[in-house]
Structure 1
Amino acid sequence: MQEFNKKLIECRKCDRLVRFREEVSGRNSRYAGENFWSRPVPGFGDISGSILVLGLAPAATGGNRTGRVFTGDKSSDFLVSCLHEVGISNIPTSTSIDDGLEYYDTYITAVLKCVPPNDKPAGEEINNCSEYLEFEIDSMSNLKVVLTLGTVAHTGFNKYLRKKGFDTRGKKFVHGEVYDYGKFKEVCCYHPSPRNVNTGRLSRKQFIDVLWKVKHQANRFH
């Protein structure tokens, strides 16, 4: 994966995303003086694992700042504390690239590798990024379960599936739904964004329940 990640972080395909990821560091006084990563953010975790957690994109002051997916922002606080509760991570926090975090049997990445303005990527930007996601999924030779966090992640994964010849007709994003593709399964879940968590759309208990479902589905293959 080293050569792949080296190629990924040099990507400048999308002019809008390149401009935004490089400008956003100057828009938040809380991190004044801090050197932002401001490049595409690679996936992180065990590429030989059986579980893939798929998000939307790096957060402006999370992955785009720290250089690691789901690190240093509110979404990562919620996500990683829940992953730790069900035994998927070794520590309950994800604060920096050198904090010692490890994921067990799990790889985490995003459909889009660069932060988009207002968390809304354009279709062309998702298409430009699809080759990277395809490589990551293809590299997971032991993949059993994909946890898609939100509609964009679900749509991106479905695009991958169709390219590989799977029938995704009728497979709409529904929180908690499990779709069986034979080789592996998809579990859908609302994204653990502050908006979803703070409005009660996704509670901690709901998310923990989904994570146990993911682990159960992965274990059924063993």
Structure 2
Amino acid sequence: MNARRRDVPSSPADVEAAAAAAGDLTALAAACTTCRACPRLVAWREASAADPPARYRGQTYWARPVPGFGDPHARVVIVGLAPAAHGANRTGRMFTGDRSGDFLFAALHRVGMASQATSTAADDGLTLHDVRVTAPVRCAPPANAPTPAERRTCGPWLAREVELVAPRVAVVLGGFGWQALLTTLAEQGWAVPRPRPAFAHGAEVTLRHTARPDALTLLGCYHVSQQNTFTGRLTPAMLDAVLRRAREVLLGAEGCPPPGGLAP
């Protein structure tokens, strides 16, 4: 590895300062992808790249934090959990290169939010329409389980991304993303009820900002992990229904057209 530069975020305070200083999504991605603030995650993402499964041997892994991906002016954000060790940690793009991504991008294509049904590499030509994909944790964690401290350290990247995108709808994949996003929104001045709304597939909560007339609707969806999709806990029809509901919410917000300009 190259010698660590002084501007590389290497502590929670560094992450907070770097995220706050990012004036746009390009700057945010540039800062995020250099982050080394969580030693366990840095070690794991690099070890995964150094010893990949046989099917990926010879490929050059991204092996860095993964920034959000999609339309910079998206009115819909999809919030997952973290990159997969041999998915986004390999390709450098959220949900790209693994079975979870296959399931998600096929659904986005079916409802008119993606230009194609597959996402295999960062340069495969995929574009997203009025939607952005992101996660509360930007490095692949061992056993897909970041620690509470790692979640807190990584939080400012998601917070700043939400500020810059200013979505109207958030489709949240799983309970971890749901709680992480509610924490971020409460810190940003959104009126999050107490007790917090519970995560459930199909859950819908509309929040209002305490200082602005903004509204943000959260839609809960089971995570697109193989554990859910292979067992039938989450089916294509169930995911499609949540994404179509996101479009309906947009249509109801001041007559906004749905993503991609498609009819509902």
- Normalising by the smaller structure, the TM-score range is over 0.9
**Counterpart AA for 2:133:** I
- Note the C-alpha offset of 1:157: 0.4
- Residue number in structure 2 paired with 1:116: 141
* Number of residue pairs the alignment of both structures matches: 221
- Residue number in structure 1 paired with 2:132: 107
**Counterpart AA for 1:156:** A
Would you say the 8 A contact 1:80–1:92 is kept in 2? yes
- 1:210 is aligned to 2:235: no
Written as runs of structure 1 = structure 2, the 5 A alignment for 1:9-20 is 9-20=33-44
Q: Structure 2 CA distance, aligned partners of 1:162 and 1:131? A: 13
- Note the C-alpha offset of 1:101: 0.4
Which of 60, 69, 77 pairs up with 1:52? Answer: 77
Written as runs of structure 1 = structure 2, the 5 A alignment for 1:55-94 is 55-94=80-119
- Note the C-alpha offset of 1:168: 3.2
**Counterpart AA for 1:205:** A
- Note the C-alpha offset of 1:186: 0.1
Larger Cα Rg: Structure 1 or Structure 2?
Answer: 2
1:139-173: per-residue Cα shift (whole Å, max 9, x none)?
A: 013x1100000011101101012112322324010
Q: Structure 1 CA distance, aligned partners of 2:193 and 2:173? A: 17
Would you say the 8 A contact 1:161–1:168 is kept in 2? no
- Residue number in structure 1 paired with 2:8: none
- Note the C-alpha offset of 1:106: 0.7
- Note the C-alpha offset of 1:27: 3.8
Q: Structure 1 CA distance, aligned partners of 2:185 and 2:47? A: 34
SS at match of 2:220: strand
- Mark the runs of 5 or more structure 2 residues left unpaired by the alignment: 1-24, 209-214, 257-264
Query: Where in structure 1 do 4 or more consecutive aligned residues deviate above 6 Å?
Result: none
Which of 218, 231, 236 pairs up with 1:186? Answer: 218
**Counterpart AA for 1:8:** C
- Mark the runs of 5 or more structure 1 residues left unpaired by the alignment: none
Q: Structure 2 CA distance, aligned partners of 1:184 and 1:84? A: 24
Which of 132, 155, 159 pairs up with 2:179? Answer: 155
SS at match of 1:184: strand
**Counterpart AA for 1:115:** A
- Cα root mean square deviation, aligned: 1.0
**Quick one: higher RCO (CA 8 Å, sep 6+), 1 or 2?**
1
Identify the range of structure 1 (211-220 vs 49-58) with the bigger mean alpha-carbon deviation.
211-220
- Note the C-alpha offset of 1:69: 0.4
Would you say the 8 A contact 2:28–2:161 is kept in 1? no
- Residue number in structure 2 paired with 1:146: 170
**Counterpart AA for 1:22:** E
TM-score (norm 1): 0.97
Q: Structure 2 CA distance, aligned partners of 1:169 and 1:218? A: 26
Which of 170, 181, 192 pairs up with 1:167? Answer: 192
- Residue number in structure 1 paired with 2:17: none
Q: Structure 2 CA distance, aligned partners of 1:168 and 1:194? A: 32
